[in-house]
Structure 1
């Protein structure tokens, strides 16, 4: 299916390489995410169509089953009344609907399997789109930080070999301030993923609980020791 192929192409693309070669990396990153979102809409539409087709087959299967039972009951009624010819015709009808039921059952099973696979693909693509958005935001932030750092450092290359000490001191202060901003932006953009942070928080909580238990055991031990030393 073309839509699945397009999504796979976007997901597997080397985003870093594409952004490095792009004239406007931010525009390229946003465009890639937009294409993923459009493809995701198409995948959802395919899933909806598959579910609708599966339900139509299921309803048809149920209807044919009911008709087969009805003709079976009519055949039995005809036999009770001694109308064998009528019973044969009723059984023939019953067999037609039974045959259709078997065929529709196989089709319905295939449709259910197809729908199940499409839903799995949809869940995968939704997760990929979420990941792509996070990568887009991170890459754009890094690109802006790099661009700002380059812009900040370029004046240093244009400085004359000599100059007033006061002017150099002021320039040094500006450079240090700009470097501090770049480092702060790096700290923000290169922060740990939320999931990793949650695990670190969990580990810290476990370590704290362990230390608390050890402290309680130490206090109880001291108390018992003091009780043994005290006169009865």
Structure 2
């Protein structure tokens, strides 16, 4: 029996050691949530940067569009002035041509800025979608972590309770209580027996005293002695 008990203890110790080496799922989940929150912070920083680029590209597009319109207006003004002889036609043509060249360059910048704006806006939309996914995953993991912690508490409490129930009779508690009950019952029965014996003895003594009552005989004898001393005759009734 001792050998089996020792083997059981050894197996139990090895099992506990193996469990200790296993990674705690709660700690793993908590670490996963921390990692996801770090990823979320990085994604938010990147989103802010891309949004800034999109805003800058939009501002450049408006700025270059204004330049396009400005160069267009200047060319028109120059041609009108040449038409009204306010400026030399040759000089007006040269300046108007230069304005149109700048206008074309500005239009190219508008096209570039527009393309960049579209690209950055698409990036922003994609990043926002990914961020929402990360937030949803974090919320789900946090809820699962709460559930997991609650399940661990319940399982530990249940395990401890079941262990106590399983080991309840192994300590001899139940058998000891049964023996105590038997002993108490025996003592109670013995006490009752002694009580019956005592009551029986008392009853016999009372019966003997009543049956052998000598108090009246003694009183009659004393009365005769007293009358004799007084010189009185004995009463016939007595």
Q: TM-score range by the shorter chain?
A: 0.5 to 0.7
Q: C-alpha displacement at 1:116, in angstroms? A: 0.8
Specify the alignment match of 1:107 in structure 2. Answer: 116
Specify the alignment match of 1:45 in structure 2. Answer: 45
Alignment of 1:55-204 (within 5 A): 55-82=55-82, 83-158=92-167, 159-160=169-170, 163-164=173-174
Unmatched tracts of structure 1, length 5 or more: 1-20, 169-232
Q: How many residues align?
A: 149
Decide whether the 8 Å contact of 1:33 with 1:136 is kept in 2. no
Unmatched tracts of structure 2, length 5 or more: 1-20, 83-91, 179-238
Q: What do residues 107-144 of structure 1 show as CA deviations (whole Å, max 9, x unaligned)?
A: 11111111111111111211111111000110111122
Q: Secondary structure at the residue paired with 1:81?
A: helix
Looking at CA atoms only, which structure, 1 or 2, has the larger radius of gyration? Answer: 2
The list of structure 1 runs, each at least 4 consecutive aligned residues, that deviate by more than 6 angstroms after superposition, is none
2:54 is equivalent to residue 54 of structure 1: yes
Backbone CA RMSD of aligned residues: 2.3
Q: C-alpha displacement at 1:53, in angstroms? A: 0.8
CA 1:162/1:22 → structure 2, altered by over 3 Å: closer, same or farther? closer
Decide whether the 8 Å contact of 1:40 with 1:122 is kept in 2. yes
Normalized against structure 2, the TM-score is what? 0.57
Decide whether the 8 Å contact of 1:29 with 1:140 is kept in 2. no
Query: Structure 2: how far apart are the matches of 1:124 and 1:41?
Result: 13
